[in-house]
Amino acid sequence: MPNDAIKDIRPLRQKALPIEMRRALIEARKQRGWSQRDLARRLDIGQRHISGIESGKIVPRYDTLLEIIRILDRDLIMVPRALMPLVQSLVRDHLKDQSGEGEERSLYASHHNEGDSPEPRDEV
């Protein structure tokens, strides 16, 4: 392989999970009211392993990461990069609107201030 090609190849193994993912894992664990020990017990791994993953000292194997994510009632999905801003916006809206959880609302609904009456609709 030419040297030019080698310098552009990144190592396959990360040194740590991205900080955003680690924060999301910690927040999901805390939302369930679980300690690191509680999560470790459910996964049948050591608490130190959970601590290492959350602190960035350990990069979990893919299957371990999937187990952690699924037990925290989350999913790991592949999203085209072009759609990431939209997906992140949907997640932010969901997290911001936790009090209205379970209630459906239209993706295209206009937002009205309290006291505003909605626009009249034609009835059929």
Within 10 Å of residue 24's Cβ, how many Cβ atoms?
Answer: 16
- In degrees and rounded to multiples of 5, residue 75 shows phi and psi of -135, 150
Structure tokens, 113: 């201030």
CA distance between the termini of the chain:
70
What local confidence, expressed as pLDDT, does residue 116 receive? 45
35-74: pLDDT as tens digits: 999 999 999 999 999 999 999 999 999 999 999 999 999 9
Alpha-carbon distance values, 6 to 1, 2, 9, 13, 103 (Å): 7, 7, 5, 16, 52
What local confidence, expressed as pLDDT, does residue 97 receive? 78
Q: CA–CA separation, 74 vs 8, rounded Å?
A: 33
8-46: pLDDT as tens digits: 666 566 788 999 999 999 999 999 999 999 999 999 999
- Cut 0.85: pTM above it: no
106-118: pLDDT as tens digits: 555 444 444 444 4
What are the chain's domains? 19-71 (1.10.260)
